[in-house]
Amino acid sequence: MISVFNSLVLAFVIALNGAPKTKIIVADDCHSAERFAAEDLQHWINEISGAKVPLESVSGRASQKGVIYVGGAFAEGVFDDDLKTIGESDGFAIREKDGSVYLFGTKPRASIYATSTFLEENTDIIWARPSEAFGTVFSKNPNLDFTMTDRLELPAFETHGWNVVAIRRDYATAKWVVRNRGNKAEQAEPKGKEGTLGFIRDMGGHIYWWMAHPTKYFKTNPEFYSYSKLKKTRVPETLCVTAPGLVDVAVKNLADRIAAGGGEKVESLGIGFRDSWLCCQCDKCTAPIPLKDGSTLECKSLNPEHDPKYYSTRFWLFISEIAKRLKAIYPKMTFIGSGYMYAAEPPACDIPDFMYVSFCPIGEVDSSHPLLDENQKPRWRNRLLEWNRRFPGRVFFYEYWCSYSAGFAGIRGIKRIPIIRQNLLDLKNVLKGIGVESELTPDSPRTFSNHSMESEWDACSIDRWILARLIWDPAANVNQLAKRYISRTYREAAPLMRKFYVQLMKNEWDDSVPRRQRNVFNCKEPEKARRYLAEALEAARHPNSRKMIERLIGQWEIAREKHGVRTVPMMSKEEHFREPGATCWETCLTLPEFKVPGYFTWGVAVNPAHKTEVRMLTDGTSLFLRLDGKVGKKGGDWVYLSLSPKEKNLNPWRVKHPFDGKPKVFEIPLRDLGVDRSDRGTYPTYYFLRYDAESGEESTVDGAKFGVKSGTVSF
Amino acid sequence: MKRIIFLSAALAASISALGEVFEVKPETRYMLTYDWSVDGQCRDFADDPEGRSKIYGYRGDEYACEMLYFGSGRSEKCVCRMALAPGNSGRMNHEFYTDSSTVKVRAEVKAPAGCKVKIGKMALSEVKGAPTLNVNPDFGLGLYNFSGVGPSNDGAVTLLPSPSGGVALHGGFYIHLAKTPVRPGGRYNLEMKAQGWHRKHRMDGSFVFLDAQGKKVFQSEIPRYSRNSKKPGESIVKNVEFIAPDNARWVYLWLYGATIEYARITERK
């Protein structure tokens, strides 16, 4: 239904006063991804307007007016030019004809790109992060008129997706990926529902054990496994890539696995060695390799790190043979060899014409420069240039942009985005590469590497969203993308969140802070960005916006603590520090809650029967420490407070003090602690313990083990 | 057992030492006992909970500390260092095994400057008829006695009141329990009540077998202790039977992230 809107713009009416004014139509034999596209469109229209637009399945061609057709089948014979333009790509089109809207592509998943774009361009919706509880932000609007009904987009690359690592099968993340135009979300769809969203079906990775698992072959064929010159024996740590008969076994096992994984439906196989630098050291695997030009490649070291060219050549010779034989069985399959560790070095041998390299720029890459930039480490730049020179058009990027970090999620902002964008532009324009895949943590509360995976999203959703758009189109304007993300996600708080992200980009550091140690907390004005966050939280109105800012603040505090930064605020000497009830204590450093260490609760610290709280302030001369908490009826509680100077010649400040639950302030001269506020190396560590006579519990800051310093305070 | 009186005072300006030398039998279980009292500027664990995890290991520059040496002359080696318990006085009961070649033991108490220590009634007696092969299996010698505990790798090792009313040991990242004599081919049982601090709520460990020279001859894993999610606050009790391999003369437990309420090694008949 087309109506006149604002007298000039023709609009497609979706809903009026919360009532549906159109319907969505899919082909009754459509792919599950096209059905998902239609249902997703129906779902979000309902969420936004309250109108439950009917969804119908029909057979045959488009014949109705005023409806939304979802899926490629309806475009045939109607938009043949578009279908031809899209070809085999993931491109999609949004078109309007005879009063109906057509959302389609030639690939089923493209219909999801089309419906998502249709919603994004006609409402203020944004899938800011995968969380189904609060990750999507939009305005309610019972009257939906869609004016953008004409678009065709083509992706820059064949592959533009993610490897959803750490926690598998997170469907919310898979849906976020496809709504934001990704065509790969490895192992993110639920078991048994693989293929629902139409992602590229691929297999592989570190698959040496798929080829010949030691539990099956080590006893019967120890020669398949690596020889260690140190141990003087074969060990099942990696494969002996020159072992007679190994290729036959590997091809059979891989073919069986592919058949079990879908056979012809499997589109791509990644072939990589085990995630290790170990290589076989047998005489054959370290023998000179004859090359096509008549020369030989000598093995210069038993350590692949010292001679990557040789070991890369060995690896590529081995997998090339396997790929050739598998190609005969699965001619349509794409084969991608791992350009990882030593195999990132281009081999001295040829590789089959149909093979691609999954180039993994990891390890001593200078992330402050694009890979092809003249300032990049020559090793990486030269490798990439050589791959391109010798195997043009066969580079595929495997990246780690959104992988998990060690221990906690860092606060990054979007400073690195322009560099990544340049890499993508180079991949498209210079390397003519086929695509990119990056590791991505799911938005899951489950824990991996000591922290929940959703905390990575709490800290850095914005760069994930922008990167999703850039791997679709690296030429997109980063500023415009950032602006869209911030304005749609944070709405009323957008101006302050923009200042926050700008501040992160403007952060400066003393030259004395090594580049690799720089973070948002040891920059010159660490609190400036934090203040913008606090103000943004005040300004935010939409509950999901608030939630995302709250969680970003939470992650900020966690990251700050993990960086060992607990900064004691400095206040004017005129403040009434010695009075526990003074207002200055409302803006102080509050240490994490006291908890009972998890000695008898499997390492999980538990809340004590009675709380204890320590706050800190400084006037520049003394450290003021305010103790507060609750006590039971039985007397005899005490606290032990200890601050240890960094300078070994100074005695720690220690006090064991009866505790009656009344707030108390201690004053410790900074000179007694050896603190020079301008020198981070002088900041003291603390150890506080509370004994609760009634419960018999002993609690420490955040449940730290007894005798272990809880942390460092800075000034 | 013949006792040789040994007395040394004011060995250095900052540290004084008192002690005795005892003749002993190899591979024998002994209890060293003595009365002690301290005066002056000694640190006291009662007022210093931070120091509790330091009770094991030499802290002679801070606390009055017992040192135990095996052998004599140039071959003498320090095998144990234990800070004295809190309060101003007490009686120490330190239980240990002598090594396969030990015939002489020297016990000594050292104290930092400004701290005066008095030692009395020091005696070493053979322990017979103990219910377990290993020393101090239930940590029943008290909250400040690390008898039966071997090396560890961090400062978080501590003895704690256990929920069942006794004493438990938290071993930090890893800890060895003191070695226990075994016979090659002998059948033994480890009964251990423990739990883990590992982030995946588990505790792992191994039996490590040594020969008479103290060289490792074999190591085998103890079945993993995993938290029962329905009883997240409870330790697990397991009985593990093991056979000492050829050449094994000693066994010790190597435990990761463990809180142990008891670890009892007994010989199976």
Tens of pLDDT, residues A158-201: 999 999 998 899 999 999 999 999 999 988 998 888 899 999 99
Structure confidence at residue A1 (pLDDT): 42
Looking at residue A404, what DSSP letter applies?
-
Residue A676 has pLDDT above 90, yes or no: no
CB nearest A602 (choices: B49, B53, B196):
B196
Any residues with CB less than 8 A from the CB of A241 and at least 6 apart, and which?
A: A280, A285, A314, A315, A317, A318
Higher pLDDT, A100 or A525: A100
Give the position of tokens 């065509």: A183
- Among A342-346, A588-592, B52-56, B142-146, the range with the most confident prediction by mean pLDDT is A342-346
Q: Which pTM was predicted?
A: 0.67
Interface check for B54 against chain A (CB to CB < 8 A): the answer is yes
Instruction: Kindly provide the ipTM of the predicted complex, given to two decimals.
Output: 0.91
Q: What is the mean pLDDT of residues A432-448?
A: 93
Interface check for B168 against chain A (CB to CB < 8 A): the answer is yes
Structure confidence at residue B58 (pLDDT): 52
Split at pLDDT 50, 70, 90, the class of B253 is very high
Interface check for B170 against chain A (CB to CB < 8 A): the answer is yes
Residue numbers in A near B160 (CB within 8 A) = 599, 706
- Which backbone phi and psi does B251 adopt, to 5 degrees? -135, 145
- Among A359-368, A493-502, A639-648, the range with the most confident prediction by mean pLDDT is A493-502
pLDDT digits (tens, 9 = 90+) for A225-252: 999 998 899 999 999 999 999 999 999 9
Structure confidence at residue A523 (pLDDT): 84
CB nearest A601 (choices: B155, B156, B233):
B233
Minimum mean pLDDT range among A349-353, A440-444, A648-652: A648-652
A470 with A438: CB under 8 angstroms? no
CA distance linking residue B34 with residue A394, whole number of Å: 79
pLDDT digits (tens, 9 = 90+) for A259-306: 999 999 999 999 999 988 999 999 999 999 999 999 999 999 999 999
CA distance linking residue A523 with residue A503, whole number of Å: 11
| Nearest CA distance, B230 vs chain A (angstrom) | 12
Higher pLDDT, B42 or A75: A75
Interface check for A636 against chain B (CB to CB < 8 A): the answer is no
* Contact yes or no for B196 and A603 at CB 8 A: yes
Minimum mean pLDDT range among A72-81, A445-454, A511-520: A511-520
Interface check for B195 against chain A (CB to CB < 8 A): the answer is yes
Interface check for A63 against chain B (CB to CB < 8 A): the answer is no
Minimum mean pLDDT range among A119-123, A161-165, B16-20: B16-20
Split at pLDDT 50, 70, 90, the class of A527 is confident
| Burial of residue A39, with CB atoms counted within 10 A of its CB: 0-12 exposed, 13-18 middle, 19 or more buried | middle
A503 with A528: CB under 8 angstroms? yes
A663 with A644: CB under 8 angstroms? no
B149 with B97: CB under 8 angstroms? no
In this structure, which amino acid lies at residue A44?
A: W
* Contact yes or no for B49 and A706 at CB 8 A: yes
* Contact yes or no for A689 and B50 at CB 8 A: yes
Residue numbers in B near A701 (CB within 8 A) = none
Chain B's closest residue to A451, CA to CA, is B199
Residue numbers in B near A691 (CB within 8 A) = 49
DSSP string, A30-83: --HHHHHHHHHHHHHHHHHHS----EEEE-SS---SS-EEESGGGGTTTSHHHH
* Contact yes or no for B259 and A600 at CB 8 A: yes
Residue numbers in B near A447 (CB within 8 A) = 199
3-state helix, strand, coil in chain A (%, to 5): 35, 25, 45
A394 with A352: CB under 8 angstroms? no
Q: What is the mean pLDDT of residues B191-215?
A: 92
Structure confidence at residue A186 (pLDDT): 85
Structure confidence at residue A485 (pLDDT): 98
Structure confidence at residue B31 (pLDDT): 96
Split at pLDDT 50, 70, 90, the class of A50 is very high
| Burial of residue A13, with CB atoms counted within 10 A of its CB: 0-12 exposed, 13-18 middle, 19 or more buried | middle
* Contact yes or no for B227 and A687 at CB 8 A: no
Residue B55 has pLDDT above 80, yes or no: no
Structure confidence at residue A7 (pLDDT): 38
| Nearest CA distance, A656 vs chain B (angstrom) | 6
CB nearest A603 (choices: B50, B201, B235):
B201
Split at pLDDT 50, 70, 90, the class of A215 is very high
Residue B79 has pLDDT above 90, yes or no: no
CA distance linking residue B123 with residue B128, whole number of Å: 16
CA distance linking residue A370 with residue A375, whole number of Å: 8
A357 with A396: CB under 8 angstroms? yes
Chain B's closest residue to A599, CA to CA, is B259
Residue numbers in A near B195 (CB within 8 A) = 600, 602
Q: What is the mean pLDDT of residues B238-249?
A: 95
* Contact yes or no for B163 and A705 at CB 8 A: no
Residue numbers in B near A598 (CB within 8 A) = 197
Chain B's closest residue to A687, CA to CA, is B50
Structure confidence at residue B56 (pLDDT): 66
Structure confidence at residue A342 (pLDDT): 96
Residue A19 has pLDDT above 90, yes or no: yes
CB nearest A603 (choices: B52, B197, B235):
B197
Chain B's closest residue to A597, CA to CA, is B197
Residue A471 has pLDDT above 90, yes or no: yes
Q: What is the mean pLDDT of residues B216-233?
A: 92
* Contact yes or no for A708 and B156 at CB 8 A: yes
Higher pLDDT, A703 or B89: A703
* % chain A with pLDDT above 70: 97
Structure confidence at residue B59 (pLDDT): 56
CA distance linking residue B154 with residue B173, whole number of Å: 6
CA distance linking residue A202 with residue B140, whole number of Å: 60
Split at pLDDT 50, 70, 90, the class of A564 is low
Structure confidence at residue A665 (pLDDT): 95
Structure confidence at residue A565 (pLDDT): 66
| Nearest CA distance, A602 vs chain B (angstrom) | 5
Structure confidence at residue A574 (pLDDT): 82
Chain B's closest residue to A691, CA to CA, is B49
Chain B's closest residue to A658, CA to CA, is B47
Interface check for A659 against chain B (CB to CB < 8 A): the answer is no
Structure confidence at residue A180 (pLDDT): 98
C-alpha R_g of chain B: 19
CB nearest A599 (choices: B50, B52, B170):
B170
Residue B269 has pLDDT above 90, yes or no: no
Q: What is the mean pLDDT of residues A52-68?
A: 92
Higher pLDDT, A413 or A524: A413
Q: What is the mean pLDDT of residues A212-217?
A: 96
pLDDT digits (tens, 9 = 90+) for B140-160: 998 888 999 988 877 788 999
E strands of chain B, at which residues?
Answer: 3-6, 16-23, 29-40, 65-70, 77-83, 89-97, 104-111, 115-126, 149-152, 158-161, 167-170, 174-177, 180-181, 187-196, 202-210, 216-226, 236-243, 250-256, 258-267
- Among A351-365, A462-476, B162-176, the range with the most confident prediction by mean pLDDT is A462-476
Residue A329 has pLDDT above 90, yes or no: yes
B96 with B22: CB under 8 angstroms? no
Residue A94 has pLDDT above 80, yes or no: yes
Window 100-159 of B, Cβ < 8 Å to A = 154-156, 158
Interface check for A649 against chain B (CB to CB < 8 A): the answer is no
Residue A509 has pLDDT above 70, yes or no: yes
Q: Which of these, A277, A163, A256, A244, lies nearest to A211 by C-alpha position?
A: A256
| Nearest CA distance, B37 vs chain A (angstrom) | 22
In this structure, which amino acid lies at residue A402?
A: C
* Contact yes or no for B235 and A705 at CB 8 A: no
CB nearest A707 (choices: B50, B161, B227):
B50
* Contact yes or no for B197 and A602 at CB 8 A: yes
Chain B's closest residue to A600, CA to CA, is B233
Q: What is the mean pLDDT of chain B?
A: 85
Minimum mean pLDDT range among A334-343, A650-659, B62-71: B62-71
Q: Which tokens is A353 given?
A: 């014409």
Residue A87 has pLDDT above 90, yes or no: yes
Split at pLDDT 50, 70, 90, the class of A8 is very low
Residue numbers in B near A696 (CB within 8 A) = 161
Q: What is the mean pLDDT of residues B110-129?
A: 87
Q: What is the mean pLDDT of residues A360-381?
A: 92
Minimum mean pLDDT range among A257-271, A457-471, B36-50: B36-50
Structure confidence at residue B15 (pLDDT): 43
A288 with A299: CB under 8 angstroms? yes
Residue A490 has pLDDT above 80, yes or no: yes
Split at pLDDT 50, 70, 90, the class of B38 is confident
Structure confidence at residue A4 (pLDDT): 36
* Contact yes or no for B156 and A654 at CB 8 A: no
| Nearest CA distance, A708 vs chain B (angstrom) | 6
Structure confidence at residue B12 (pLDDT): 31
* % chain B with pLDDT above 90: 54
A108 with A165: CB under 8 angstroms? no
